[in-house]
A and B are shown apart, each in its own frame.
Chain A
């Protein structure tokens, strides 16, 4: 029962992540392209384009990190389980617990920092003057997403995968 709810939530979060990633990368690409075209062909220079691209990359890095957990694509050192296959299961569990601990820390610290930025009227981006708490809020949000994906991956490891629950490899 819990598992079904978690799976539903996981799919929902996964869908949000994929669209968010797609839109932010396309936004970054189009803005950067427009700036190149305008700078080469006209005297106009979009002074804000660099900031948009940087923020889109920040956004896509951390949301992409959570999406990578869902696809088991985060980079880790797997030398030890390869040398000693008997350790594979306990180490995998330890690794998941590490990710969950990270999620908890980043939800806690990220939320606190987001509140600080929310109450600081000067915490704005340099160029477009966007309130920075929006960006800090990405971190605790990622923490929540990470935790959901990790829990589901742990369940899959423990009870085996269900049909149709495989989101497929990243690349």
Chain B
């Protein structure tokens, strides 16, 4: 590792700080890095082109579109009205509904970015409208999507298992207990926060009122049934569900609710395309920067520098946690998993660390990195979704990050929490 890396990093931070768009900052840093390394600059064109050629990205466009149709019409209002009628009388009830939605949806999409867009997009305005503290709402819906990579299926786990030769089913099983812990801890915090704030809780609605709400919202309620039911019953994949949901939302809003006029369709589609484009180009920029990191083997060098001299497993895991948290801010979880797994695996036996345990830690760590200030991608995405600036979002996520990092430490130093379930099933 030499001074080059620090110059490139300074360039990136400089561009970001001076309000150059995030994707262009990443692009410049990657481009200059590649050129300094003596690599033909033209490859960035290739990288931009291929970076969009990914299965997992299809879902981003379609869920953004679905979300926009729902908010342009009245599906979202009706869904929230129902959720409020069902759990609104609990302190923090609607917030808990949002956490659970991330758990469910993230389990399906396997991507934190898509989860922030799909759930945060309508939960943040809904929470604020129902009197929840805005910063609390933004922080909650930025950090809860980490459940998407922890609760299986998770793309990063699939890739980790592929490299480590662990059984994929076993690795998936490591995610359930930590996922549940995150759900419970965040829900408890939400309940306490709302009680302490004296959040208005309303009386429990009567059965008759409840039925009236349900009747009014039946078409809206069928949408999540279609998405979750379709996917968990195995009828649809996540991509297919996003497509079908768009179509369903169009039909309901235009022909049944009549809350979306045909001539507004173009406006909704175009604005969705632009919103999803602002997110997708960040993925592209990160790919160019990632290309530089990969060519120069920067993560390997950092990993060796950070953990090379360590003797104790405790210190090793702590160093790795810190490192992954930082890497998670800069790199997408898929590239980071592919590049770092082969570096860490050979070190595990030296410290007597189980590779299943490590796989879960790595996944959770990179996921938390996604929403760690100042560079976690989720911060920008939820900032865009909620129309808040970075400073605001960064402050908002802090209490939730504290919870997640505490849980990460628990899971790091009590491996039984992670390994209990796979051991139970596989003996």
Chain B contacts of A57 at CB under 8 A? 52, 57-58, 61, 280
Chain A contacts of B201 at CB under 8 A? none
Does A22 have its Cβ within 8 Å of any Cβ on chain B?
yes
Does A45 have its Cβ within 8 Å of any Cβ on chain B?
no
Q: Is the CB of B53 within 8 A of A58?
A: yes
A22-B269 CB under 8 A given contacts A64-B274, A91-B18, A95-B18: yes
Bitwise interface map of B from 7 to 24 toward A, beta carbon under 8 Å scored 1, else 0: 000000001111111111
Interface of B is mostly: helix
Nearest chain B CB to A108 CB, angstrom units: 9
Nearest chain B CB to A80 CB, angstrom units: 5
Q: Is the CB of B244 within 8 A of A33?
A: yes
Chain A contacts of B54 at CB under 8 A? 54
Partner of B239, one of A32, A40, A73: A32
Chain B contacts of A109 at CB under 8 A? 41-42, 44-45
Nearest chain A CB to B351 CB, angstrom units: 38
Q: Is the CB of B22 within 8 A of A80?
A: no
Q: Is the CB of B269 within 8 A of A76?
A: no
Nearest chain A CB to B387 CB, angstrom units: 9
Bitwise interface map of A from 144 to 171 toward B, beta carbon under 8 Å scored 1, else 0: 0000000000000000000000000011
Partner of B389, one of A22, A79, A94, A136: A79
Chain A contacts of B27 at CB under 8 A? 102
Q: Is the CB of A98 within 8 A of B52?
A: no
A60-B276 CB under 8 A given contacts A94-B18, A139-B49, A171-B68: yes
A76-B389 Cα distance, complex, nearest whole Å: 9
- List CB contacts (< 8 Å) of B372-387 with chain A: 374, 380-381, 383-384
Q: Is the CB of B247 within 8 A of A33?
A: yes
Interface of A is mostly: helix
A99-B281 Cα distance, complex, nearest whole Å: 13
- List CB contacts (< 8 Å) of A106-155 with chain B: 106, 109-110, 112-113, 116, 132, 135-136, 139
Does A36 have its Cβ within 8 Å of any Cβ on chain B?
yes
Chain B contacts of A78 at CB under 8 A? 19, 389-390
Chain A contacts of B247 at CB under 8 A? 29, 33
Does A46 have its Cβ within 8 Å of any Cβ on chain B?
no
A127-B102 Cα distance, complex, nearest whole Å: 35
Q: How many residues of A contact B (CB 8 A)?
A: 57
Partner of A25, one of B240, B273, B279: B273
Chain B contacts of A71 at CB under 8 A? 274
Does B28 have its Cβ within 8 Å of any Cβ on chain A?
yes
Partner of B15, one of A24, A98, A105: A98
Q: Is the CB of B240 within 8 A of A75?
A: no
Does A82 have its Cβ within 8 Å of any Cβ on chain B?
yes
Bitwise interface map of A from 48 to 75 toward B, beta carbon under 8 Å scored 1, else 0: 0000011001101111110110010111
Of A21, A61, A77, the most chain B CB neighbours within 10 A belong to A77
Q: Is the CB of B21 within 8 A of A95?
A: yes
Chain B contacts of A136 at CB under 8 A? 45, 49
Chain A contacts of B240 at CB under 8 A? 32, 36
Does B76 have its Cβ within 8 Å of any Cβ on chain A?
no
A107-B254 Cα distance, complex, nearest whole Å: 41
Does B62 have its Cβ within 8 Å of any Cβ on chain A?
yes
Nearest chain B CB to A169 CB, angstrom units: 8
Q: Is the CB of B15 within 8 A of A64?
A: no
Chain A contacts of B20 at CB under 8 A? 76, 94-95, 98-99
A50-B34 Cα distance, complex, nearest whole Å: 32
Chain B contacts of A60 at CB under 8 A? 61, 273, 276-277
A139-B49 Cα distance, complex, nearest whole Å: 9
Told that A64-B277, A75-B384, A98-B24 touch, could you supply 12 new A-B pairs with CB distance under 8 A? A29-B247, A64-B274, A68-B278, A75-B278, A76-B19, A76-B22, A79-B390, A82-B391, A113-B42, A113-B46, A170-B274, A171-B274
* 7 CB < 8 A contacts A-B: A36-B243, A57-B57, A73-B384, A75-B282, A78-B19, A106-B45, A139-B45
List of 3 A-B pairs having minimum Cβ-Cβ separation, nearest first: A64-B277, A98-B20, A58-B52
